[in-house]
Amino acid sequence: MNVAVWDTYVTKKDGTVMHFDIIVPTYIKMGDIYEYGMTYLKNKGFQGQSLTSKECKFCHIETINPQWEEEIKKKGFFIYEMENCD
């Protein structure tokens, strides 16, 4: 299975920038990707932050990593946290 990786940078209220990837099956539509990102932000306590095409851009397609597969099957997406996601 191939997945699409969406590179995402969201500025938190304290000014720091969260960097994470939203990883989804390749057939998922852009609106759903933003919704997945907003769900992630809400679950992290960062609701109200902007998440648009300015913050979230398609990066590349790759073969699914087995550690992501179960969560993608369950929720439809996987978030790969990289910077300032706490």
pTM: 0.94
Look up residue 65 and give its DSSP letter.
P
Domain that holds residue 34: 2-83
Q: What is the CATH number of the domain that holds 78?
A: 3.10.510.10
Domain count, the chain: 1
| pLDDT block averages, 10 residues each, the chain of length 86 | 96 94 95 95 91 94 95 96 96
Q: What is the pLDDT of residue 38?
A: 95
Question: By the 8 A CB rule, do 31 and 79 touch?
Answer: no
Q: What is the pLDDT of residue 18?
A: 96
Q: What is the pLDDT of residue 42?
A: 95
- Which segments of 2-85 are extended strands (E)? 2-11, 17-25, 56-63, 78-83
Counted residue by residue, the chain has a size of 86
Q: What is the pLDDT of residue 48?
A: 86
Q: What is the pLDDT of residue 79?
A: 98
Residue with tokens 């398609």: 58
CA atoms within 13 A on the CB side of 71: 15
